[in-house]
Each structure stands twice: as structure tokens, then as C-alpha cells.
């Protein structure tokens, strides 16, 4: 009897693994291939789809944000960009930029760039990397030290922040080594942040006041390969998509690895295309797209 129980447990575990692998395959459209749409950049980042049919992305060293359409290819959209990295839209559809020059900034309707926040308690932010806007309008962002020199650096930690007009700038977490990608769960009750140094993703409960509870490691990306935990996105079912060693990693809402999809080194991700069924990926020198069998949350 004990032997039968052990065999049944082993079989159940095997079936769960097979089911996970199958689910991961279904998330990517059958036969889909990674397609390069534009190239020859210094370090591309921050892809962001606009519902009218174009993609924005940053080239950090070039101090430029580009605009790509299928008809015209890539054209210069914003220069200088403050050495922008991550990009997103606020609730009014205005472009927000995480600038390696040490600020979170906004493009106004007239095309002017306004600095929203550039310091924490009077000290310069390091180099804001990626950002996400909650439905209440508050902005959450990561602030590693990738883009700040030792001479310019004024903070002795690399934090995760929340900014709102009512509360100002709030430091949420300061014990990351290199905080990078940041994304909410579909219901905004959880916030995911990855750490490029440790190649893992942490998850935090979001409190009613917008601050965070105690976090824990959600998933680890222990593998050989070029690339690291960097940009992240989520789909409508709560599956989490992250750059990582060897390419694209997909996890279930429970932290189970569903799929590893081999790509060149990728730096960030964006949902776009019809019904947000296309996953755009920036690499240091190029931008790619991959047809998905699911729909994402931009």
C-alpha cells in the first residue's frame, strides 16, 4: 500500500510538470519565431506600446527615445531624453520617463519635459531604472546605481519608491542589491520587483495606503546564459514574464516556472499589437517581437 501511495505521488508530480510545460508552450503561439524589427542601437531599453499603433523605446547611451511603426520603422521621438531607461504612460496618457540622469520626468502635452522628482530627502536619486503606474495614479519605481558615477552618487542604498501628489516620495524598500524591473499583479494587490545581482524576483503585498508589506523571493533564475533579471511584464491571467539568463522566463502566479524561451540577451519587455497579444523585447542593440497566445497588461 505504501508503495502504491509513493508511486501515485510520483506520478502526480510528473503530471504536474508535464502540465506546466504544456501551459508554457500554449502561452507562445505555436510555431511563433522571434522576429527582429529594428537594430543598430547602443543599449535599447524601456519598450512601451501606444494603443494607436506604435512602439516607443529608449537608447540609454544615445540619450534618445525612438518611435517605431511597422510602416516607417524607427524614427527619433525625443532627444535629449535625460538618458531615459524605463517608460510608461500615466492615467492621462502622458509619457513618464525613468531617467538615468537622476529623475522621474513627464512629457507634457506641448512636448516639454518636466521633472517630477529628482531627490530623496535632498539627496540626488541614483539612476531611476524602471517604473509602473498604479490605477490610483501613484508611480512606483526602482533606483539602482547603474547610471550614476561614484562621484555623483549621494545615496548609500538602492531603493524602491512610491510617488504620489498626496504623499510625495516614499521609500518602500532599501535592501535590494540592484532593483530593476517592476510590475503589479492584475489586481494590484502584489508588487513584483526583480534584483539583477541575484537573478531573482521578489513579491510584496500592497497595503491599502499604497505602501508594501514584507516581501519574499517569488522565483529564482538559476541558470547559465547571457542576460539577467531585468525587465518584467504580466499577462491577464497573472503569469509573470521576465528577462533572465538565456532569454525569456515565464512563471505562473504561484511562482512555478512555465517556460524558458531562448533569445539573444534581452533587457526589457512590452505588450502590444492587437489586443496586446504581441510581446516586444529590447536587446542591447535591437528590438524583437514574438506572437503570443495570450493577452498582456501593458
**What CATH code is carried by the domain that includes residue 54?**
2.120.10.30
| pLDDT, averaged across the chain | 92
Average pLDDT over residues 77-89: 97
Given this model, what pLDDT does residue 110 score? 85
Residue 140 has pLDDT above 70, yes or no: yes
Given this model, what pLDDT does residue 23 score? 55
Residue 124 structural domain: 2-297
Read off the DSSP letter of residue 29.
P
Average pLDDT over residues 63-69: 98
Residue 49: closest CA among 234, 238, 269 = 269
Given this model, what pLDDT does residue 3 score? 43
Residue 165 has pLDDT above 80, yes or no: yes
**Separation between Cα atoms, residue 124 and residue 148, nearest integer Å:** 10
Average pLDDT over residues 154-178: 97
pLDDT in tens, 108-124: 988 899 999 999 999 99
Q: Please give the share of the chain, as a percent, with pLDDT higher than 90.
A: 88
Given this model, what pLDDT does residue 64 score? 98
Residue 6 has pLDDT above 50, yes or no: no
Using a CB cutoff of 8 Å and minimum separation of 24, what contacts does 207-212 make? 210/134, 210/136, 210/138, 210/162, 210/164, 210/167, 210/170, 211/162, 211/170, 211/172, 212/160, 212/172, 212/173
Residue 269 has pLDDT above 90, yes or no: yes
pTM of the model: 0.91
Number of domains in the chain: 1
Cα–Cα distance list, 195 to 221, 240, 242, 264 (Å): 11, 15, 11, 20
pLDDT in tens, 186-224: 999 999 999 999 999 999 999 999 999 999 999 999 998
- Better pLDDT: 73 or 26: 73
Q: pLDDT tier at 29 (50, 70, 90 boundaries)?
A: confident
Given this model, what pLDDT does residue 32 score? 86
Given this model, what pLDDT does residue 17 score? 41
Average pLDDT over residues 142-148: 95
Please list the alpha-helical segments (H only) found in 91-242: none
Q: pLDDT tier at 18 (50, 70, 90 boundaries)?
A: very low
- Better pLDDT: 30 or 157: 157
Amino acid at each position: 500500500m505504501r508503495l502504491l501511495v509513493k508511486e501515485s505521488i510520483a506520478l502526480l508530480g510528473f503530471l504536474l510538470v508535464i502540465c506546466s510545460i504544456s501551459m508554457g508552450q500554449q502561452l507562445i503561439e505555436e510555431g511563433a519565431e522571434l522576429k527582429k524589427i529594428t537594430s543598430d542601437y547602443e543599449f535599447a531599453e524601456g519598450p512601451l506600446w501606444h494603443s494607436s499603433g506604435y512602439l516607443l523605446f529608449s537608447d540609454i547611451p544615445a540619450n534618445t527615445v525612438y518611435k517605431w511603426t511597422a510602416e516607417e520603422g524607427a524614427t527619433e521621438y525625443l532627444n535629449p531624453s535625460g538618458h531615459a531607461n524605463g517608460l510608461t504612460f500615466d492615467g492621462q496618457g502622458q509619457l513618464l520617463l525613468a531617467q538615468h540622469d537622476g529623475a522621474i520626468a513627464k512629457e507634457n502635452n506641448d512636448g516639454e519635459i518636466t521633472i517630477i522628482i529628482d531627490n530623496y530627502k535632498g539627496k540626488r536619486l541614483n539612476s531611476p531604472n524602471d517604473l509602473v503606474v498604479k490605477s490610483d495614479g501613484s508611480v512606483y519605481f526602482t533606483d539602482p546605481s547603474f547610471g550614476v558615477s561614484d562621484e555623483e552618487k549621494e545615496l548609500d542604498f538602492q531603493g524602491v519608491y512610491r510617488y504620489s501628489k498626496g504623499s510625495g516620495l516614499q521609500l518602500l524598500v532599501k535592501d535590494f542589491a540592484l532593483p530593476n524591473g517592476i510590475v503589479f499583479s492584475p489586481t494590484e494587490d502584489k508588487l513584483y520587483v526583480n534584483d539583477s545581482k541575484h537573478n531573482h524576483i521578489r513579491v510584496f503585498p500592497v497595503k491599502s495606503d499604497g505602501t508594501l508589506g514584507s516581501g519574499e523571493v517569488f522565483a529564482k533564475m538559476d541558470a547559465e546564459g547571457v542576460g539577467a533579471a531585468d525587465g518584467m511584464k504580466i499577462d491577464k491571467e497573472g503569469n509573470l514574464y521576465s528577462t533572465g539568463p538565456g532569454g525569456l522566463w515565464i512563471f505562473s502566479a504561484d511562482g512555478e516556472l512555465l517556460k524558458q524561451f531562448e533569445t539573444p540577451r534581452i533587457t526589457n519587455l512590452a505588450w502590444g499589437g492587437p489586443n496586446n497579444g504581441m510581446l516586444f523585447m529590447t536587446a542591447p542593440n535591437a528590438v524583437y517581437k514574438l506572437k503570443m497566445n495570450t493577452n498582456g497588461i501593458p
